[in-house]
Copies of this chain bind each other. A is one copy, B any other.
Amino acid sequence: MSVLIRGVRLDGKNVDIYCEDDRITEIGSVSVEADHVIDGSDKAAIPGLVNTHTHAAMTLFRSHGNDLPLMTWLSEKIWPIEAHLNADDIYWGTRLACLEMIKTGTTAFNDMYYHVGATARAVDDSGIRGVISAVFFNMLDTGDIDAAIKGMTDQVNEIRSVGCDRAVPALGPHAPYTVSDEALGAIGDLSEKEDLLVHFHLAETEKEINDYKERTGEYLVPRMEEIGLLSPRMIAAHSVWVSPEDLDIMARNGVTASHCPISNMKLSVGRALPYPEMMARGIPVTLGTDGCASNNDLDMFETMKFAALLQKHATNDPTALPAHEALLMATRAGAAALSIDTGEIVVGRKADIVLIDLKRPEMVPGHDLVSNIVYSANGSCVNTTICDGQVLMMDRIVEGEAEVLQKAAEAANDLFCRE
């Protein structure tokens, strides 16, 4: 399979981009033939966007229970229904998420949820990339750690057994308030031994930090370092309530932050990510949507705008988090965090490419493309989505879209009746 994009705007120039199999093999003036030729005129190419924190199948909960206090929402709206989730729900919920991601230019996501085999199959069938971690809770039970680790290893193997290169297994200990330190330490060891990414909720709320201190007598982030959970393999979702000392710890352990501005604002976590302090320490900051229950969409263009504007608001500085940094967070930094060879359109990289339609009102005039992408565009400005060298959407048409919408709606309705 080869794809040739003719005459597309890339970094201020008009070029041809040639992809062979899963790689970008030539950029410039390309004269070879291709299986699939795309007219790139009036389009701009950017790397496929990378969403570093979501719970994909929570699309099934979209618009269910909003504008509620956190614990009311979780205990009355989410958990009672989550208890009834089956693998089929997860498959169609993830298919719906992947469809929305393809339609809004995201080609890779970092997931944490139930029934990882179903998630891996949905990733396989959708054509995008997913780093998939089984969510692990033990509700602070210090019981059989070996069994817990075996359970996680089984799930890693379940993902691998799907046999899809784009579905990458990872470890998903939920959060410091739902997983015992003993288990977190063992998960850190497993991550090192098997070279698996760890997807973790860290320092999302002030209560979490205070409760940890009260329960254990220790400070949360220093303790996570002590037990060996922190490493360059760690993607720490939220990381909002971190002190300067915590930031030093994140930096020296190479931890990546997954910033989810929309979720943070919607759930009123009460603070903005300390982005300038993270930049000052060289902590990699990436962007995530969080799940559709707390966002309620998967549009990374919207997340870029929220991230940039929340920083300007929080720091009272309109120069904070400029557009080009937001785009890098959603592309290069995200790809690096997930250890996938995408995030830049250069020869040799995997062919994850998104074409933006420049003939939309939001994109006119074109004084500054990156500003238009971050501040004016939304995911619907994406015309074409290519992942791993395969054209997943062209002229906004995704094969099988109607079936996914119908099956996911049916799964959601069925799940909510099951309650």
Contacts and interface: CB of A to CB of B under 8 A. Distances in A.
Interface of A: 59-64, 66-70, 73, 96, 99-100, 103, 262, 264-268, 270, 272, 292, 295-297, 299, 302, 305-306, 308-310, 312-313, 315-320, 322-323, 359, 361-362, 364-369, 371-372, 375-376, 378-380, 401-402, 404-405, 408-409, 412-413, 416
Given A312-B268, A372-B62, A380-B380, A67 B319 contact: yes
A323 B265 contact: no
A376 B62 contact: yes
A68 B306 CA distance: 17
Contacts of A267: 312, 318
Contact of A309 (B59, B265, B402, B416): B265
A60 B266 contact: no
Contacts of A310: 265, 313
A307 to B, nearest CB: 11
A52 to B, nearest CB: 20
Contacts of A380: 378, 380
A412 B369 CA distance: 15
A67 B322 contact: yes
A136 to B, nearest CB: 26
Contacts of A266: 308-309, 312, 318, 375
A312 B264 CA distance: 9
Contact of A323 (B67, B103, B319, B372): B67
Given A63-B372, A375-B297, A379-B378, A318 B365 contact: no
A64 B318 contact: no
Contact of A366 (B73, B270, B295, B409): B409
Contacts of A60: 365
A323 B62 contact: no
A138 to B, nearest CB: 27
Contacts of A268: 312-313, 315-318, 320
B376 A297 contact: yes
Contacts of A309: 262, 265-266, 306
Contact of A100 (B264, B296, B361): B361
Given A266-B375, A297-B376, A364-B412, 13 more contacts: A62-B367, A62-B376, A63-B365, A66-B322, A70-B318, A96-B361, A268-B312, A268-B317, A292-B376, A296-B376, A306-B309, A364-B408, A365-B408
A66 B296 CA distance: 27
B265 A313 contact: yes
B372 A296 contact: yes
Contacts of A378: 299, 302, 378-380
A69 B268 CA distance: 28
Nearest to A374: B66
